[in-house]
Amino acid sequence: MSDWKRFIFRVSPASWRTAAAGRVRELPLPPASRTGGSDPEPNRTASPTLQRRRSAFLTLLLSFLAIFLVPVLIGGLFYGRIEGALIDHASRSNKAMLEQVRVAVDGRVSEIEQLAAQIALNPKLQWLLDSTDYSDSQDLYRFIEFMKDLARYGTVSSYINTFYVYFDNTDTILTPSMRTDPHLYYHKIAAYDDMSYAVYREQVLQTYHQRSFLPWTAYEGRSGVITYVQSLPLGERTNPQGTLVILIDETQIRELLDQIEWVNSGAIYIVNERGEVIMATGTDEPDVLSPGLQAALAADSPDAPYVTAAGEEMVVTSAISAQNGWTYVSTVPRAIVLERVNTIKTAALWLVALCLALGAAGSYYMAYRHYRPLRELVHTLTRGGQGTHERYANEYDFIRQSFAAAMDEERRLRRTISQQTPVVQTDFLSRLVRGHIDASAVTEGELAALGLTFPHGRFCVILADIDDGHAFMREASEKEWALLRFVIRNLGGELLGSRAHAIELELGRVLFLVNLPQDGDEGELQMRAFAGELSQILQQRFRTLVTLAISRVHAGLSAVAACYGEAIMAMDYKLIRGRHTVIYYDDLRDRIRHYYHYPAATEGQLMNYVQSGDAAGAETTLDQIYEVNFHARGLTPEMGKCLFFNLTSTLLKAASAVNLDEPPRPADSPDPIKLISDSATAEEMLAHTKTLFRMLCEQVRSQRPSPGERLYRSMLDYIEAEYPSSNLSLTSIADHFALNASYVSAFFKKHSGENLSDSITRRRIEACKALLADPSLTISDIAGRVGYANSVGLIRVFKKIEGITPGQYRSNHFQ
């Protein structure tokens, strides 16, 4: 369907409602809707339509939910595996940290054993173990040398609290700094808090030990120690001669263990090969293992995942040292080990819950969003329909049937519009030839939409006036006149072919718009041949006499109005030439006129140019009027003045039509009529008339202010409203209009001819002069009302502009 037909169809929404009315009955509405009343109350029972709408909405909602739940379900399947991987990772991390503990402690134990080996292999030690009498000075010297060696060995490790050697043969204890007996050493120097002297002597000094580490015990009431005992000499199992005792500072080892991040949250047990707890951290009973942990160690399965101790589930991890056979056992609360896992798990569950909530809300929103246009479309289609008992599956089925009916209605409307095509074409061409259409803005697509084609660029207008058709018509009725115009239109169309378009203008007038391809005089010759043939056929076959007026050939669609004007002018000469003739506009230039030619149609065209502000069009029309009346042998001076007075009358009427109080007046002659009458030649009259019309067109255009003019007026209004404020300045005005201050200054000076600050000052001084008339106001009061902070500034500016102070101005003008 063509564009203009679509336009007519689009602006007729009633046609859609009419087309849908046949389908509206299939979705029953409440009685109020069928009768054009208000919508039913909300508490009424839902109609079948609403139920179907809910079912359609539910379908959309379930579809969105299904799409949303697919990735959620897939994520749920992978969640279990991810959780197991995280737990395994936490267990591996726990195992790795326990290995760090083992390596660190084994390193310190290795330092102790190296120290023990150095002392045990010292040559002086073996002599001292074998000797029983140290009274000789040489023997005492050896003791001293061995003590120096012990002092040097003491610097090997910072973890050693102290160490000494017990000589069984002399019941002597030798330290890096002293020599004493066991009883004195135990009671006066270093005693175990939970071990008696007898037990100490029996189990530590006189029992065979091979790299033995005794369990942690309190020492000197201050700190705990781990006792390393090695019988001497090395390898002597049946009759040891001495004992090396090294006391390891338990605090140093505990500080080492505290560097492991989870030690403070759990407990670490170091168990020797005999199952004794050498030391423990993070527990109130460092010497005792929990029953569950003892069972796990006894069952040789210390890596059981969880053990319940003190009512709390613990994660158990163990590592065995290949160096000394110790077992390192860590027990950490499951909540601590899996803290990050639980955090991630909780976050994941909250995220899933949030996703489910947002997904449900989003699905509902998307379903509602997609359903809303459907609901509104159904409501639009059902508006004004009549209810019936027929039902449809859902809204989509209803819309499909409604659009099918609308398409049927569209086809019917197309046929109706096609029948109106000649009427539309005639209206367009009629307005085109009269100059009511801006021909330069008409595109080929718009012409094609109207069914018009102008393949060539030259045009000519032929007017046919019916002078006498009574021999053809039975009676002078509208029907007979229409039949006669129809005959002329079709006959002219057959003679001119597709290059011409016929228009019925008036009761007895037909216009032919001819599109000519040829250049030169060939087109004009064809028009002359057409005129003669048309007149002859009408007279001979239809007994009808016509007068034909033919314009000149012009180039461009915008010249069609000029062609029409020329044809009108030519047709006006029927009064001189007589009826039943063919009048050519070109022939008028050879005729001597004694009166001016200024028809009403040309005057209307001139006024149209003025009302649209088209000065160029007005000047062109004036040139045509001048050309017709003066160049074809000219007029008498009296008739020429009458013509220009008539044009001046048109000027006055045009000024009144555009709501101007008075016509434009040149600066040198305020009276336009006097300006014309004082002109010496016709060329001057034409020049002054064109000037007046051009000024009038400019005034018409000036009444439509430009954006710059509107901004300038807005600035003046803002200054008028804000001049009493002392904050009014170039910056405040620029901020108010969101413009750059430099631009505002240049823009204001361009439109006003003065600086913005000078304009503000001038307005304030004017206001000050008006206020000086009131004797009750002081100069300070007036200064505050016109935007000055004090009277000093006002007096200075006032004297600069007026030459006197405000007080002198008041004395001179108001006293």
Give the H or E element holding residue 105. Answer: helix 48-120
- What distance in Å separates the CA atoms of residue 256 and residue 240, rounded to the nearest whole number? 35
Task: Identify whether 296 is part of a domain.
Answer: yes
Task: Identify whether 25 is part of a domain.
Answer: no
- What distance in Å separates the CA atoms of residue 410 and residue 414, rounded to the nearest whole number? 6
Q: What is the dihedral of CA 77, 82, 83, 84, to 10 degrees?
A: 100
> Of the residues 337, 362, 383, which one is the last residue of a structural domain?
337
> Of the residues 678, 704, 730, which one is the last residue of a structural domain?
704
Q: Are residues 679 and 721 in the same domain?
A: no
Average pLDDT, the chain: 78
Task: Identify whether 47 is part of a domain.
Answer: no
Strands of the sheet with 172-174, listed across from one edge: 179-180, 172-174, 160-167, 242-249, 223-232, 212-219
Q: What is the pLDDT of residue 284?
A: 61
Q: What is the pLDDT of residue 220?
A: 66
Task: Identify whether 14 is part of a domain.
Answer: no
Q: What is the amino acid identity at position 414?
A: R
Please enumerate in sequence order all residues whose Cβ is within 8 A of that of 258, keeping only pairs 6 or more positions apart, or say none.
264, 281
Do 227 and 186 contact (CB within 8 A), yes or no?
Answer: no
Between 562 and 705, the more confident residue is: 562
Q: What is the pLDDT of residue 546?
A: 92
Taking only the tens place, the pLDDT of each residue in 27-41 is 333 333 333 333 433
For residue 168, the enclosing domain spans 121-255
| Percentage of residues of the chain with pLDDT beyond 70 | 79
Over residues 227-234, mean pLDDT: 86
Q: For position 505, which CATH number holds? A: 3.30.70.270
Q: Of 457-471, 508-522, 549-563, 782-796, where does mean pLDDT reach its minimum?
A: 508-522
Q: Are residues 544 and 428 in the same domain?
A: yes
Q: Are residues 228 and 243 in the same domain?
A: yes
Q: Are residues 656 and 509 in the same domain?
A: no
Taking only the tens place, the pLDDT of each residue in 248-305 is 877 777 777 776 655 556 778 888 877 788 877 766 665 667 766 766 666 655 454 6
pLDDT at 607 over 90: no
Taking only the tens place, the pLDDT of each residue in 407-426 is 888 888 888 877 777 888 88
Query: What backbone phi and psi angles, to 5 degrees, belong to 458?
Result: -120, 140
Over residues 531-555, mean pLDDT: 90
Q: What is the pLDDT of residue 274?
A: 76
DSSP one-letter code for 586: G
Taking only the tens place, the pLDDT of each residue in 135-158 is 666 767 777 888 888 878 776 666
Q: Are residues 726 and 677 in the same domain?
A: no
- What distance in Å separates the CA atoms of residue 207 and residue 160, rounded to the nearest whole number? 22
Given the structure tokens 């006032």, which residue do they identify?
Answer: 798
Taking only the tens place, the pLDDT of each residue in 560-592 is 998 998 898 888 766 546 678 898 888 776 555
Task: Identify whether 375 is part of a domain.
Answer: no
Nearest to 101 by CA among 274, 223, 288, 269: 269
Strand 582-584 to strand 545-550: parallel, antiparallel, or no bridges (unpaired)?
A: parallel
Q: Are residues 234 and 278 in the same domain?
A: no
Q: What is the pLDDT of residue 41?
A: 39
Q: What is the pLDDT of residue 212?
A: 82
Over residues 367-384, mean pLDDT: 79
Model pTM? 0.39
Task: Identify whether 200 is part of a domain.
Answer: yes
pLDDT at 316 over 60: yes
> Of the residues 704, 737, 754, which one is the last residue of a structural domain?
704
DSSP one-letter code for 264: G
The total number of structural domains in the chain stands at 5
| Strand intervals (E) in 440-565 | 458-468, 500-506, 509-516, 545-550, 554-555
Q: What is the pLDDT of residue 305?
A: 60
Within 13 Å and on the Cβ side, how many CA atoms surround 753? Answer: 0
Over residues 481-503, mean pLDDT: 89
Q: What is the pLDDT of residue 402?
A: 80
CB atoms within 10 A of CB 367: 20
Task: Identify whether 682 is part of a domain.
Answer: yes
Nearest to 547 by CA among 564, 566, 567: 567
Nearest to 630 by CA among 662, 605, 595: 595
Over residues 164-168, mean pLDDT: 86
- 3-state SS, 126-163, equals HHHHHCCCCCCHHHHHHHHHHHHHHHHHCCCCCCEEEE
Q: Are residues 311 and 175 in the same domain?
A: no
Q: Are residues 608 and 742 in the same domain?
A: no
Q: What is the pLDDT of residue 661?
A: 67
Over residues 95-101, mean pLDDT: 79
Given the structure tokens 């005693």, which residue do they identify?
Answer: 191
Do 374 and 57 contact (CB within 8 A), yes or no?
Answer: no
Taking only the tens place, the pLDDT of each residue in 731-779 is 999 999 888 888 888 888 888 888 899 999 999 999 999 999 988 999 9
- What distance in Å separates the CA atoms of residue 314 and residue 269, rounded to the nearest whole number? 14
Task: Identify whether 384 is part of a domain.
Answer: no
pLDDT at 54 over 70: no
Do 744 and 734 contact (CB within 8 A), yes or no?
Answer: yes
pLDDT at 633 over 70: no
Q: What is the pLDDT of residue 79?
A: 73
CB atoms within 10 A of CB 79: 14
pLDDT at 55 over 90: no
Between 615-626 and 600-611, two packed helices, what is the crossing angle to 10 degrees?
A: 160
| Percentage of residues of the chain with pLDDT beyond 90 | 7
Q: Are residues 606 and 527 in the same domain?
A: no
Q: Is 382 exposed, middle or buried (0-12, 13-18, 19+ CB in 10 A)?
A: buried
pLDDT at 512 over 90: yes
Q: What is the amino acid identity at position 603?
A: E
Q: Are residues 551 and 604 in the same domain?
A: no
Q: For position 283, which CATH number holds? A: 3.30.450.20
| Strand intervals (E) in 469-529 | 500-506, 509-516
Beta bridge partners of 214: 227
Q: Are residues 483 and 502 in the same domain?
A: yes
Q: Are residues 596 and 557 in the same domain?
A: no
